[in-house]
Chain A
């Protein structure tokens, strides 16, 4: 593959992505005081993460059965307020065991 084409392509992708991330940080330098907008921004993380996780999590491991088991494990661990690493590794461990069992 043409090296020049690859480099140009990487630059286009990188700059596009960077501008999306950089513009709000550069523009909104003052704290927004409007309660509606502050409330909106407060809920953004929960909305975006929940939408990205479900239903995508069920096709993240190669088999639906192991993904469901891993998801249940993650929800239980998170409900018990375990840390990020514990929940992530716990879910992965459950998936691994379930796959070893043949699901």
Chain B
């Protein structure tokens, strides 16, 4: 059972891995062009596993900025992960060990979060391990490749790969928006708000990291107020919950 979930996670993580490879290639290339050693670009990718956050961090490092500046910028750009992690904390299997929770936390990125929210049952450590492993390989591998070889890639190819992750986001939001009016309204409100924070005077002065947080709080709040959902706190799927127990006996029972 655990092995099956792990393999499923690996499979679900594969599209993320592909998208990450292209984006992190750009990161690796940029880091080296700015004078950072190859190992440091790979280390930043491996230990941070963020896109916008580490691009901003790279710029500060290159400019020899202070550690306070680095920490604050990282905090603001990555604060949205707090909301994502909160959502994930409600979807992980209730019996997940603390150590596993702490390990899963490392891998909560925009994309891994998005895919995990699509998973049909409670999230288990085995599934999350697979879902995090493939993207991490893609992200660090792409950084390494970009740092040593990306300058040889044709630009039409790297440009084309730039849209991959957004394509994935669209694949996640459109199907439920088609079925549920509440999701459609949420998506439209978020797009309108995002356009406002990008182009309107005053609003556009807010940094991208804060804008995403404000939009998420505002739009999800309005949607929750307009369309409260009545899903029970505990899933009725009791057998599914038992299958995740660590010991071998339960595992056998489940099969």
Contact = CB atoms under 8 A, between A and B. Distances in A.
B167 A70 contact: yes
Given A20-B82, A22-B105, A81-B175, A95 B159 contact: yes
Contacts of B224: 36-37, 39-40, 42-43
Interface string B153-176: 001110111111111111111111
Given A17-B48, A29-B101, A38-B231, A51 B190 contact: yes
B101 A13 contact: no
Contacts of A33: 233
Contacts of B220: 40-41, 43-44, 47
Interface string B28-63: 000000011100100110011110011001001100
Interface in B71-93: 71, 74-75, 78-90, 92
B82 A24 contact: yes
Given A21-B105, A24-B82, A48-B83, A95 B191 contact: no
A82 B157 CA distance: 23
B87 A53 contact: no
B229 to A, nearest CB: 5
Interface residues of B, number: 103
B33 to A, nearest CB: 13
Contacts of B157: 96
A16 B75 contact: yes
Contacts of A51: 190-191, 193-194, 211-212, 215-216, 219
B228 A63 contact: no
Contacts of B246: none
Interface residues of A, number: 80
B229 A88 contact: no
B253 to A, nearest CB: 24
Contacts of A90: 167
Nearest to A56: B166
A91 B40 CA distance: 32
Nearest to A70: B163
Nearest to A46: B186
B178 A79 contact: yes
Contacts of A55: 194-195, 198
B252 interface: no
A57 B219 CA distance: 20
Given A44-B220, A78-B174, A83-B171, A21 B160 contact: no
A8 B101 CA distance: 26
B16 to A, nearest CB: 8
B162 to A, nearest CB: 4
Given A21-B106, A50-B186, A66-B160, 11 more contacts: A26-B98, A28-B89, A36-B224, A39-B224, A48-B80, A51-B219, A57-B163, A84-B171, A89-B164, A93-B160, A96-B157
